[in-house]
């Protein structure tokens, strides 16, 4: 089955700095890679995703990159703000798997 | 309208009791899931149903029994609750490829 590793487990940055979270996956059949943000006491929410036919995708201050050859993908947050503080999960899924496999999460703290 | 709603939000119960968590989705999609989030925040899939049919069971103890009366509902019944069952349980529906999660049920077994 799919195995997703996520690093780092915790990340602390100063407001305005950039943050990068990296994930690797094992199943070459995986073709969909979403990222979820979970604020304290709330549900995980999909913030951005990328499919295997695309190398990079941006949405305002967040971007995701995918390297299919190396089987890794990353989340980049620029100009971080205190409200970006949350747990971020990467995930990977194949079209026929019927489920997403999640990384273990990264706790991001943005210090004002 | 909330796309995925689950009740109750909090559940405190004694060991050995039986409890249920209800989930309803109005996404119009056939697939629903139960995920467990432990104290370390890890998200682990428990079950997946597609149009009332079980398609994924991730080696969950048989004390946990999902029930899907129709494709908009997926309830979770837990028998003989144990201390280790304490966690947050999320129901999710699938819209496109991504998930929409319910607000979660924090289960505390004492």
Q: What is the pLDDT of residues B46-64, one digit of tens each?
A: 999 888 888 888 878 999 9
**Chain A interface test: which of B30, B97, B100 (most A C-beta within 10 Å):** B97
DSSP alpha helices (H): ranges in chain B?
none
By CB neighbour count within 10 A (0-12 exposed, 13-18 middle, 19+ buried), where does A45 fall?
Answer: middle
pLDDT > 80? residue A77: yes
Q: CB-based contacts of B5: which residues, under 8 Å, 6+ apart?
A: B23, B24, B25, B102, B103
- The answer to whether the beta carbons of residues A64 and A75 sit under 8 Å apart is yes
Strand partners, B109: B13
Residue of A nearest to B90 (CA): A43
Residue A62 CA, distance from chain mean position: 10
The verdict on a CB contact (< 8 Å) between B103 and A42 is yes
A99 closest CB neighbour out of B42, B56, B98: B56
Instruction: Give phi and psi for A102, each to the nearest 5.
Output: -95, 145
What digits encode the pLDDT tens for the residues A23-63? Answer: 999 999 999 999 999 999 999 999 999 998 889 999 999 99
d(CA A104, CA A77): 19
pLDDT > 80? residue B68: yes
């Amino acid at each position: 089955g799919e195995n997703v590793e996520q690093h780092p487990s915790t990340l602390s940055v100063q407001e305005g700095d950039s943050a990068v979270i990296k994930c690797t996956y094992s199943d070459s059949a995986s073709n969909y890679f979403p990222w979820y943000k979970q604020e304290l006491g709330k549900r995980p929410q999909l913030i951005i995703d990328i499919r295997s036919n695309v190398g990079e995708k941006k949405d305002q201050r967040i971007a995701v990159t995918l390297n299919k050859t190396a089987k890794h993908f990353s989340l980049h947050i620029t100009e971080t703000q205190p409200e970006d503080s949350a747990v971020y999960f990467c995930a990977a899924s194949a079209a026929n798997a019927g489920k997403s496999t999640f990384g273990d999460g990264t706790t991001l703290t943005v210090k004002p | 309208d909330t796309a995925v709603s689950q009740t109750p939000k909090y559940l405190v119960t004694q060991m050995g009791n039986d409890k249920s968590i209800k989930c309803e989705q109005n996404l119009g999609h056939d697939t629903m899931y139960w995920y467990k989030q432990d104290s370390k925040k890890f998200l682990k899939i428990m079950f997946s149903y597609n149009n009332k049919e079980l398609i994924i069971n991730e080696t969950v103890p048989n004390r946990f029994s999902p029930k899907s009366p129709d494709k908009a509902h997926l309830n979770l019944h837990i028998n003989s609750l144990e201390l280790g069952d304490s966690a947050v349980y999320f129901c999710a529906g699938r819209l496109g490829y991504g998930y929409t999660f319910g607000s979660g049920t924090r289960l505390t077994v004492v």
